[in-house]
Amino acid sequence: MTNLLMLPILIPLATAILLIFLAKNVPAQRWVSGISAGVTAAAAFVLVQKVHNDGIQTVDLGSWEAPYGITLVSDMASALLVLITSLISLACLIYSFRSIGIDREKFYYYPVFQFLIVGVNGAFTTGDIFNLFVFFEVMLMASYVLIVLGGTKIQLRESIKYILVNVISSALFVIAVGYLYSIVGSLNMADISVKIAAFGQPGILTVVAVLFLIVFGLKGAIFPLYFWLPGSYYAPPIPVMAVFGALLTKVGVYSIMRTYTLFFYHDQGYTHEILSILAVLTIILGVIGAVAYWDVKRIIIYNIVVAVGVIVFGIAAMTPDSLAGSLFYIIHDMIIKAALFLLVGIIISITGTSNLRHISGLIKRYPGLAWTYFIAALALAGIPPLSGFIGKLLIVQGGFEAGRYWGAGIVLLSSLLVLFSVMKIFINGFWGNPRSYKNEDKAPVRTLLIAPVMLTALSVFMGVGTEVIYPYISQAAETLSDPNIYINAVLKE
């Protein structure tokens, strides 16, 4: 059980290697991928219970004790995010079986998908800042393949921008890590925190903190560094878009949360003030995009930007309530964004278009799709008692406690505009006069609905069953609020 936290990384890794040898046997790839994703989710669930009962779990690779070796760390925040990642990957794989297309399946879609999960779970689990870079690169290399797989014109065009942005941010990441190491002489996150606390965060470390914010801001898509996201996420097929939208930006946001609560919390009047301003601007720009567009994919994509802003505002407030709210909201948003992208994908597979002006009356023939989308849309907007409400309430409460009244007010106002943007799809796409669509009968709607219904049900449970989930969130927020809990567990002090 001591190495339990390695399983959500090792299982997808072993699966990816195995699937390379099954490249031409698509049915076998589907079975192996699905079973592997289920086993990974089960291991992640056991890990969450282990952390809840026994505290933070650590593994020193090669038996080199921290801070000298590479350490993997599962506190409650990382364990919960690994669990949600595993569940979303399972849902997106189930959706892929009937939607991604045989050509992509034969061209290493499933192995690359598993490598992406290795990178995401590794980034959430590592306790070493350079290894965070390594897992980022594993995740990004897999995403480079997924964004071009299929070779359509829009994919090839957008992939150039996506790769360029991420190559630049990766170079900046190495520079930031190099500067940090030159100052503190360590790469272990817990040890870095101890040494920065001893220095009292001089000005040079505040500069490094801003450099890390630029790196993670590029990856997490905060203002003004989100410019690449709407086009890049629009290009790939729906299951890939769902995985990107649900997971990749959240790794960037998690990295901001981890570094700004563990390392750079001594000069909050500067670093967290910048974070707060950027968060509010991210929300405003995201809402404008979500409201302005009539393309169903772009509406949901711009809502990713809004959610990133809301989460980052909670981190900037730095109160126990706001941190609990940010973590709750990350988990909620990962689940509901994946569900909404998959539901939008079904709409597109029925109608053959993503232009909302050419869609209407779907509720007559597809009531299950309509009402699943309706519930998911309400959850995204934070309507009580659904999952978005609890996280946003805690973030707003934390914002008021920290004296950030304007920011908290904008978070509240954004809920109304987010609701407007997603209800625009429901009102225009599902109501009105039914139309006939060319390839409507070919869309396997019932099969495709399985995955988004699973995710929407999970979101509903998060809202209605908050009493069950909140002790886990509270435990995670306690570790984020008090770095000493993390430091003592890793350095065994």
**Beta-strand pair 71-74/57-60:** antiparallel
- Residue 385: per-residue pLDDT: 82
CA dihedral 58, 63, 64, 65 (to 10 degrees): 40
Angle at 333 between CA 331 and CA 335, to 5 degrees: 75
From first to last of its 493 residues, the chain has per-residue pLDDT tens of: 457 888 999 999 999 999 988 888 888 999 999 999 999 999 999 999 999 888 888 888 877 777 777 888 888 999 999 999 999 999 999 998 888 878 887 888 899 999 999 999 999 999 889 999 999 999 999 999 888 887 788 888 888 888 898 899 899 999 999 999 988 888 888 888 888 888 777 778 888 888 999 988 888 888 888 888 888 888 888 999 999 989 988 999 999 999 888 888 877 777 888 888 999 999 999 999 889 988 888 999 999 999 999 999 998 888 888 899 999 999 999 999 999 999 999 988 888 888 888 888 888 888 888 899 999 999 988 888 888 888 888 888 888 888 888 888 888 888 899 899 989 988 888 887 777 777 777 778 788 888 999 999 999 998 888 888 888 988 988 888 888 888 888 887 6
Per-residue DSSP letter, 356: G
Q: Where are the domains of the chain?
A: 4-491
| Cis status, amide bond into 444, omega within 30 of 0 | no
**What is the predicted pLDDT for the residue at 80?**
93
Q: How far is CA 98 from the centre of its chain?
A: 24
pLDDT of residue 2: 55
Find out whether 325 and 311 touch, Cβ atoms under 8 Å: no
Instruction: Identify the pLDDT of residue 445.
Output: 79
pLDDT at 493: 61
* pTM of this prediction exceeds 0.75: yes
From residue 13, alpha-carbon distances to 36, 44, 141, 164, 256 in Å are 10, 15, 14, 26, 26
